[in-house]
């Protein structure tokens, strides 16, 4: 496989590329690590099949030449190459514990710059890795609270899983009247601690709401 350096003006992003990439993160990676992967370009058209967004990042950085591997293929195969490159990356998954450990090593060595990860993503990943697999509905403690509310005893790091579980319960039991706390000003005020002490909720533990109410059966 011959890789050649060509001027950035000699090749063109594919006009039918449907992928929307994060060019700013690619720019960061190139700044930190250099441009180390050649683009795949259709020889007959000079259209980029693999690396359209790396090309845009290179242009933003003012690069004048870029490494390219030219493939001799017709338009039909070119479209398939481009689609396959995009889709196979979509279907990839991480082994979360391994990734969390790798990111912790990188952070200890100097920081995330050049990894394309940001701090909020890493924080979420570390929480998920420490929590293990997402719990099922049977693993949640659900306490009925005043009309149609549930208080959920679960770590804050599992907020998304809790919401998904409750939404599934609502769909499975359509006969139950459901109202989200934020839809009621009175209930939202209670949850935010803006009501009087007789209906005030206090929070204890990580993500566990505790309180008393005349209609609450505990």
Q: Are 85 and 52 in contact (CB under 8 A)?
A: no
Q: Are 46 and 15 in contact (CB under 8 A)?
A: no
Q: Name residues whose C-beta falls within 8 Å of residue 22's C-beta, 6 or more positions apart in sequence.
A: 53, 116
Instruction: Give residue limits of the domains in the chain.
Output: 4-90, 96-131, 137-211
Per-residue confidence at 71, pLDDT binned at 50, 70, 90?
very high
pLDDT, the chain, mean: 75
Q: What is the pLDDT of residues 87-133, one digit of tens each?
A: 998 888 888 888 888 888 888 888 888 888 888 888 888 877 776 55
CATH number for the region 4-90 comes to: 3.90.1530.10
Q: What is the pLDDT of residues 176-212, one digit of tens each?
A: 555 554 445 555 555 455 544 444 333 333 333 333 3
pLDDT of residue 189: 55
Q: Are 23 and 60 in contact (CB under 8 A)?
A: yes
Q: Name residues whose C-beta falls within 8 Å of residue 131's C-beta, 6 or more positions apart in sequence.
A: 155, 157, 158
Whether 170 shows a pLDDT value over 80: the answer reads no
List, in sequence order, every residue forming a beta bridge with 144; answer none if it has no partner. Answer: 150
Cα separation, 71 vs 3, whole angstroms: 11
The dihedral through the CA atoms of 155, 159, 161, 165 has a sign that is positive
Task: Look at strands 141-145 and 12-13 and give their pairing.
Answer: unpaired
Alpha carbon 26 to chain centroid distance? 17
Of 118, 135, 147, 146, the residue nearest 207 (C-alpha): 135
């Amino acid at each position: 496989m011959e890789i050649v350096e060509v001027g950035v003006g000699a090749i063109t992003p594919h006009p039918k590329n449907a992928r929307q990439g994060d060019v700013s993160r690619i720019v960061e990676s190139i700044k930190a690590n250099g441009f180390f992967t050649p683009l795949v370009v259709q020889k007959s058209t000079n259209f980029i099949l693999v690396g359209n967004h790396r090309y845009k990042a290179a242009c933003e950085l003012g690069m004048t030449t870029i490494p390219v591997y030219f493939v001799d293929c017709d338009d039909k195969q070119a479209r398939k190459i481009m689609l396959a490159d995009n889709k196979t990356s979509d279907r990839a998954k991480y082994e979360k514990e391994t990734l969390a450990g790798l990111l912790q090593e990188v952070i200890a060595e100097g920081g995330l710059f050049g990894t394309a990860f940001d701090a909020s993503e890493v924080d979420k990943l570390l929480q998920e890795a420490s929590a293990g697999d997402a719990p099922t509905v049977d693993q949640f403690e659900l306490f009925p609270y005043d009309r149609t509310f549930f208080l959920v005893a679960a770590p804050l790091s599992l907020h998304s899983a809790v919401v998904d579980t409750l939404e599934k319960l609502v769909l499975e039991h359509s006969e139950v009247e459901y109202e989200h706390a934020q839809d009621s000003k009175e209930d939202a005020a209670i949850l935010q601690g803006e009501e009087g002490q007789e209906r005030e909720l206090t929070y204890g533990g990580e993500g566990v709401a505790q309180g008393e109410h005349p209609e609450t059966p505990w």
